[in-house]
Structure 1
Amino acid sequence: MKTIIRAVFCGILCLVAAACDKNLSEFLDKAPGVDVNENTIFSSRVQLETFITGTYRIGIHSIFTYNDAALIPAPASRTFTINAAATDEAEAEVTFFHTENWNDANITANDNPVGREDYRYWIRWTAIRNCNIILERLNDVPGLDETYKNQVIGEAKFIRALNYSEMLKRYGGVPIIDKRQQLTDDLKVKRNTVEEVVNFIVKDCDDAVSLLPATYPATFRGRATKTVAQMLKARTLLYAASPLFNTATPYLSLGDNNKLICYGNQDNARWQKAADAAKAAIELAPGGGFALITDKGTDKNYKFMWEQNDNTEIVLAEKAYGARGRQQFPWYGTQPAVIALGSWGGVSVMHNFIRKYEKKDGTPQTWDLDNGGTDLMKKYAELDPRFAQTVGYNGSYWNKDYPVLETFQGGRNAASCWGGAWMKKLIPDLLSSTANAVPNSIVFRLAEAYLNYAEALNEAQGPVPAAYDAVNTIRARSGMPKLPAGLTQEQFRARVRNERDIELAFEDHRLWDIRRWMIAENEGVMKGKLYGMRIYKLANSTTEFRYEPYVKEVRTFLPRMYLHPFLNSEVYKGYLVQNPGW
């Protein structure tokens, strides 16, 4: 595999990249004039920690995307904006973002980065190689106690499992590399089946849970714990139990190789395994000091969770950066140009997504798609409190530069605001023309475990009380009423899926949920009409506005897009089976 061969050399590059993060004086065993090499890294605990830091840097990717050489050294592996605009959540302000390729089905299997959607593919292989090197050479480091060695083994296995999980949800089965490869090895490793990859991830997660500490000192936030390893296991098993993989008949036939893209049979027991894993994550959380944010008020709990770094709900966050200015990534590719002058562009929340928000009483909001209405602000005020904590809507607060957002036609924040609203979530109030802000780069947070549990348990057993309790726990902290009793399994499925859409909005779950549920071809999801909204002032009111939904675009989704393609440059070598339709 080209990328695996490249990873042989990239592991060496990461030794140097990681070393560059430290002052020369910190390389205690390095004589003057001696280059840093693998033996240097494994000569002391200080050197090992440097390598581990570098492995976290390339092995942990958050909800944000970056275009910074300090984080992602290869230009072709950097991304500019989040995936939300590839789904019914949003539309990107500019057309050169990668999300546009999804919307017009212009994904390709070519090496050219335009149309290629897994920019970090080769970096994952580098991270996996680093983990394998750590596991192989850990005992060469002198003076390590068993507790610390167990921690490092757990960290390496977690990072390796995380990178395999990221590839599983994109490709299905991929080659399993569980040892360091040498140039003398056969590097043309064939794909393993979906089942084999899932089992490999689960085994690494189980090992990590048994070896990792429950918690660390505050200065070590960002390192893997028991809880996050269990959450990774739960997420992986949830994806594995979902219709995309848990089937005898894949979305497109791959002939004798169908087990590379699905299990080859449907087994409801997979849902129960996912439920059990999610429950275990919830039970581990208190021991690690993790808890849902519930003490800031129902109109503030949710925003505090995504805005406040290192709050108790965040189980793992990427810690690559400190404070960043509004014209630096990741803000540069998520802030609207009409708010952060000079930025590339923001993410406009589309009406397809806004219609998912219930009213505060738990009933659906009514929207007139044909004629619009003259009561926009009234409708906004009636919505689930998470709406106002997620969406930058007309009349809402953005930051000190724009205390009142104007997305009505002719308003100062309306240009290119296709949906009549901007994504506010992820962008803290602090960020402004005069203040930098630290990205809250969430990778796992506890609310996901509750929603994973509710979904999997309903699929395994139906809407039993424990499934209700899990989803109602998430709703209650934002002031939303309990789900109505007596729902059928299908009705509960629809409600818990909608709850995921709202609670996990813009956190890079929606694209993968759509595909694992196999609903991308449903009207208005990733195919068909994407509705925007135009907002107008009313001549007889200073507080109310007229809204007019309109069709912003008609999107295309092809069945082959349920899984990513491998690069043709790899497939043409004859050992890697391409996913169907590519």
Structure 2
Amino acid sequence: MKSIINIVFCGALLLIASSCDQKITEFLDKAPGVDVTESTVFSSRVQLETFITSTYRIGIHSIFTYNDANLIPTTRTTTINAGITDEAESEVTFFHTQQWNAATITANDGLVGQEDYRYYIRWTVIRNCNIILERINDVPGLDEAYKNQVMGEVKFIRALNYFEMLKRYGGVPIVDKRLGVTDDVNVKRSTVEDVVNFITKDCDEAVSLLPAAYTPNFRGRATKTVAQMLKARTLLFAASPLFNTASPYLSLGQNNKLICYGNQDNNRWQLAADAAKASLDLATAGGFALITDKGVDKNYKFAWEQNDNTEIVLAEKAYGSRGRTQFPWYGIQPVSIANAWGGVSVIHNFVRKYEKKDGTPQTWNLNGGGSDLLKKYSELDPRFAQTVGYVGSFWNRDWPALETFQGGRNADGCWGGAWMKKLIPDQLSTASGAVPNSIVFRLAEAYLNYAEALNEAQGPVPAAYDAVNAIRQRSGMPKLPTGLTKEQFRERVRNERDIELAFEDHRLWDIRRWMIAQNEGVMTGAMYGIKIYKIANSTEFRYEPYVIENRTFLPQMYLHPFLNNEVFKGYLVQNPGW
């Protein structure tokens, strides 16, 4: 990707939408360039590459927010979504997370309150993809292999943007061609089933057209494996209770199929399992593999910290090194460490999900606490220490030992008693910036997708066990116990997703597709932190659990609302409850 990224910064940038007030139709009927005409774009391979690069830049969604006024609307989210879930609490109250936790988001809030700051940009991306598919044969001198690659890339990017809308809204308008001035641009919502089929068709075609791998300098471009992983992810959502049901979470009357299938079919889980297995099979040929050679105390951290490692199937490549006072770091670091906007405090609801190293549950006294905090931490799954910045742990060269105890330098705003360390590399400090490892697809997800879908389709068969155990064992955790029921295995694989994919923007969407948001302690009810106290003449710490806040989740929040300024135009049916 480095080669084509250079083109986009050295050459003329094509249109990137920046207004949060523009409507869909303004993107669907807008010319593809301002300073560069469409004829220029399709006049040579170099010009086409520039257009493709700009489409990647606005069309790939990583786990980070960059606060880039050239890329996203002026009103925007500036932190990750972990603080909406039982993973974390945002240090400050002005992030979008607080509106979700208080259930005060509305269809009039604009993009920041609704989390989806890329909504309008996706329509620009989709239009770019449609234009490329229409005009690719007009570019002189292209060989068939390159044309196939480009068509595969844009079909993947188009499918990814539709998936991002599917998981937020359910059925959305399908636009599979460039719309001109004589076309009806008020395209109505398609059903969930039609959108899922559209995405998976694009993915199938992308898999058939894309290469298995690229040379290292082109990491960041779509491959067969990532297109197949997107198909598997889409089918996993399609098979999950939110969509795979005859009765949606709230009735939309005759329009129920805009928010669910309208029937329940267990075969959808088998389709998801088959797609996930195919992505694992393709990964080998593409050179993708789990990190297993760094040691059980380092494998996991290497996978999320080291750019372009073999486990990263796709990462966003729009940015180079970023200083600690630049986004995305500025929106996820504690104020006490970087004088940033605010950190992500890991809450005790999440910490309690970690098993001990022997695979048994850790015991926590929620009523009175205890005087053995560090001992309890030391007994946890090795991924805990590679994910969470806890009292006394290393943060970076500036902060070799965190002080999250009461009165400590890092305690203010640390509602949970610990900080999220995952995503923030050790290299980042006052002396050194760091290139964000902006993960979009990581191979570990494919294993867990396969295990979940296979269990739902067939029960806890050996292949489902093997997939989960591959993830556990590379981090030194024992295999799951045999003899689990389907329901027991379901809970174990869900917990494994919580731990392995923590803070990678999976939890919010898993909670909603499983329809567990209203369970106590998930997105509803008591969110716990711990207050930590020094013990005189001891290296240990006393912990005291307390309730940070009681959160509220309303049923309509299982899907996002469309903005009312779009709904009032008459062509979009609003999701129920909004």
TM-score normalized by structure 2? 0.95
Alignment of 1:261-276 (within 5 A): 261-276=259-274
Which residue in the other structure is 1:575 paired with? 571
- Whole-angstrom CA distance in 2 between matches of 1:241 and 1:116: 25
Q: Deviations over 1:64-83 (max 9, x none)?
A: 011112443x313x320000
Alignment of 1:547-558 (within 5 A): 547-558=543-554
Q: From the superposition, tell whether residues 181 and 486 of structure 1 become closer, same or farther in structure 2 (CA, over 3 Å).
A: same
Which residue in the other structure is 2:402 paired with? 405
Which residue in the other structure is 1:454 paired with? 451
Is the contact made by 1:111 and 1:569 (CA closer than 8 Å) also made in structure 2?
no
How many pairs align? 558
Q: CA deviation at 1:117?
A: 2.4
Q: CA deviation at 1:315?
A: 0.1
RMSD: 1.1
Q: CA deviation at 1:540?
A: 3.4
Is the contact made by 1:317 and 1:442 (CA closer than 8 Å) also made in structure 2?
yes
Alignment of 1:83-232 (within 5 A): 83-110=81-108, 112-113=110-111, 115-232=113-230
Q: CA deviation at 1:2?
A: 6.3
Q: From the superposition, tell whether residues 577 and 210 of structure 1 become closer, same or farther in structure 2 (CA, over 3 Å).
A: same
Is the contact made by 1:109 and 1:567 (CA closer than 8 Å) also made in structure 2?
yes
Q: From the superposition, tell whether residues 383 and 568 of structure 1 become closer, same or farther in structure 2 (CA, over 3 Å).
A: same
- Larger deviation, residues 87-96 vs 113-122: 113-122
Which residue in the other structure is 2:38 paired with? 38
Q: CA deviation at 1:436?
A: 0.4
Q: CA deviation at 1:11?
A: 5.4
1:498 and 2:518 aligned: no
Q: 2:366 aligns with which of 369, 373, 394?
A: 369
SS of the equivalent of 1:454 reads helix
Which residue in the other structure is 1:25 paired with? none
- Larger deviation, residues 180-189 vs 268-277: 180-189
- Whole-angstrom CA distance in 2 between matches of 1:246 and 1:564: 18
Which residue in the other structure is 1:347 paired with? 344
Q: 2:308 aligns with which of 270, 289, 310?
A: 310
Is the contact made by 2:239 and 2:268 (CA closer than 8 Å) also made in structure 1?
yes
Which residue in the other structure is 2:55 paired with? 55
State the identity as a percent. 81
Q: Deviations over 1:146-184 (max 9, x none)?
A: 000000000010000000000000000000000001122
- Whole-angstrom CA distance in 2 between matches of 1:85 and 1:101: 11
AA partner of residue 41 (structure 2): I
- Whole-angstrom CA distance in 2 between matches of 1:111 and 1:183: 31
Q: From the superposition, tell whether residues 559 and 2 of structure 1 become closer, same or farther in structure 2 (CA, over 3 Å).
A: same
Is the contact made by 2:347 and 2:415 (CA closer than 8 Å) also made in structure 1?
yes
Which residue in the other structure is 1:26 paired with? none
Which residue in the other structure is 1:562 paired with? 558
Q: Deviations over 1:469-507 (max 9, x none)?
A: 000000000000000000000000000000000000000
- Whole-angstrom CA distance in 2 between matches of 1:188 and 1:377: 59
Q: CA deviation at 1:10?
A: 5.6
1:8 and 2:36 aligned: no
Which residue in the other structure is 1:30 paired with? none
SS of the equivalent of 1:188 reads coil
Q: 2:531 aligns with which of 530, 534, 549?
A: 534
- Whole-angstrom CA distance in 2 between matches of 1:236 and 1:57: 22
Q: Deviations over 1:340-398 (max 9, x none)?
A: 12x10100000000000000000000000000000000000000000000000001000
Q: CA deviation at 1:113?
A: 4.3
1:514 and 2:511 aligned: yes
Q: CA deviation at 1:520?
A: 0.1
- Whole-angstrom CA distance in 2 between matches of 1:136 and 1:259: 31
Q: Deviations over 1:530-575 (max 9, x none)?
A: 001100000131x100000100000000000000000111111122
- Whole-angstrom CA distance in 1 between matches of 2:355 and 2:332: 26
SS of the equivalent of 1:534 reads strand
Which residue in the other structure is 1:421 paired with? 418
Is the contact made by 1:71 and 1:320 (CA closer than 8 Å) also made in structure 2?
no
Q: From the superposition, tell whether residues 113 and 230 of structure 1 become closer, same or farther in structure 2 (CA, over 3 Å).
A: closer
Q: Deviations over 1:401-440 (max 9, x none)?
A: 0001110001111111001100000000000001000000
Is the contact made by 1:272 and 1:460 (CA closer than 8 Å) also made in structure 2?
yes
Is the contact made by 1:66 and 1:79 (CA closer than 8 Å) also made in structure 2?
no
Q: 1:328 aligns with which of 326, 329, 335?
A: 326
Alignment of 1:292-307 (within 5 A): 292-307=290-305
Is the contact made by 2:29 and 2:180 (CA closer than 8 Å) also made in structure 1?
no
- Whole-angstrom CA distance in 2 between matches of 1:565 and 1:97: 19
Alignment of 1:243-262 (within 5 A): 243-262=241-260
AA partner of residue 574 (structure 1): G
AA partner of residue 47 (structure 2): Q
Q: From the superposition, tell whether residues 115 and 537 of structure 1 become closer, same or farther in structure 2 (CA, over 3 Å).
A: same
- Whole-angstrom CA distance in 1 between matches of 2:432 and 2:70: 22
1:486 and 2:506 aligned: no
- Whole-angstrom CA distance in 1 between matches of 2:244 and 2:110: 33
- Whole-angstrom CA distance in 2 between matches of 1:11 and 1:305: 41
- Whole-angstrom CA distance in 1 between matches of 2:214 and 2:537: 59
Is the contact made by 1:171 and 1:579 (CA closer than 8 Å) also made in structure 2?
yes
Q: CA deviation at 1:114?
A: 5.0
Q: From the superposition, tell whether residues 58 and 114 of structure 1 become closer, same or farther in structure 2 (CA, over 3 Å).
A: closer
Q: From the superposition, tell whether residues 9 and 67 of structure 1 become closer, same or farther in structure 2 (CA, over 3 Å).
A: farther
Q: CA deviation at 1:263?
A: 0.2
Is the contact made by 2:31 and 2:38 (CA closer than 8 Å) also made in structure 1?
no
Q: 1:546 aligns with which of 542, 561, 564?
A: 542
Unaligned runs of 5+ in 2: 1-20
AA partner of residue 545 (structure 1): F
Q: Deviations over 1:178-228 (max 9, x none)?
A: 000112211111100000000000000000000000001111110000000
Is the contact made by 1:3 and 1:125 (CA closer than 8 Å) also made in structure 2?
no
Is the contact made by 1:63 and 1:443 (CA closer than 8 Å) also made in structure 2?
yes
- Whole-angstrom CA distance in 1 between matches of 2:526 and 2:232: 34
AA partner of residue 205 (structure 2): D
Q: 1:237 aligns with which of 235, 239, 242?
A: 235
Is the contact made by 2:77 and 2:112 (CA closer than 8 Å) also made in structure 1?
no
AA partner of residue 28 (structure 2): V
- Larger deviation, residues 565-574 vs 146-155: 565-574
SS of the equivalent of 1:444 reads strand
- Whole-angstrom CA distance in 1 between matches of 2:346 and 2:365: 18
Is the contact made by 2:28 and 2:123 (CA closer than 8 Å) also made in structure 1?
no
Which residue in the other structure is 1:29 paired with? none
Is the contact made by 1:372 and 1:548 (CA closer than 8 Å) also made in structure 2?
yes
SS of the equivalent of 1:339 reads helix
- Whole-angstrom CA distance in 2 between matches of 1:423 and 1:212: 36
Which residue in the other structure is 2:79 paired with? 81
SS of the equivalent of 2:470 reads helix
AA partner of residue 320 (structure 1): A
